[in-house]
Chains A and B, each alone.
Chain A
Amino acid sequence: EAEVAQSPRYKITEKSQAVAFWCDPISGHATLYWYRQILGQGPELLVQFQDESVVDDSQLPKDRFSAERLKGVDSTLKIQPAELGDSAMYLCASSLRRDRNYEQYFGPGTRLTVT
């Protein structure tokens, strides 16, 4: 069964360093999502792509976060500089379509710890 791939699974970084996460969606899925999940809370959307275009990045802290999906396939989420409050699980999801009957498939996530 096709899955969403994410790497690394775990990342420990020091405050003020740069960190990057990678996501490879299920083949053929046009829509890609990045979520942040703080321990004990539900996922919160950071950015949504349709192919290579950003559909919504209203919740992305653009002073330090950036995301790209250059060829409309895999995607990278970057944080620079990392802050202690960025410690969380970063989840990537993809869906075949972006409209009402879609289903989002989630990757295993990247657990980020900022020290």
Chain B
Amino acid sequence: AQSVTQLGSHVSVSEGALVLLRCNYSSSVPPYLFWYVQYPNQGLQLLLKYTSAATLVKGINGFEAEFKKSETSFHLTKPSAHMSDAAEYFCAVSVPVSGSARQLTFGSGTQLTVLP
């Protein structure tokens, strides 16, 4: 079964510091992986996705993630944190359902706090 584990439910960084949010996946087939961001009382917005092309994926707002098969990881990074990056971040893996249908299975989320 496919699943994701997000290490660290809360991460705090100073403004301007490196952001690193960790995600490890479990998948019996080549995975499709996603990072979403959620601001308070809002829906989820896609930051980036890995769909078996380049292993280093660049997303919106300066975020990027690197797919490492040997480590079964898909960590999210940003070189310099902004106050506006404070939000909850979810890693997700696409899992097959039936036929060509697929679904997303989400991790439990990491709350990012940016300190001034």
Contacts and interface: CB of A to CB of B under 8 A. Distances in A.
A55 B97 contact: yes
Interface string A22-40: 0000000001010000001
Interface stretch (B12-20, B44-52, B66-74, B76-84): B44-52
Contacts of A102: 102
B42 interface: yes
Contacts, number: 69
Nearest to B51: A101
Interface residues of B, number: 25
Interface residues of A, number: 30
Contacts of B28: none
B97 A48 contact: yes
Contacts of A105: 46
A100 interface: yes
Given A41-B108, A55-B97, A48 B42 contact: no
Contacts of A106: 36, 43-45
A44 B106 CA distance: 7
A50 interface: yes
Contacts of A104: 46, 104
Interface in B38-68: 41-46, 49, 51
A100 B44 contact: no
Nearest to B109: A42
Interface in A1-27: 4, 6
Given A41-B108, A42-B108, A100 B94 contact: yes
Interface of A: 4, 6, 31, 33, 40-45, 48, 50, 55-56, 89, 91, 93, 98-109, 111
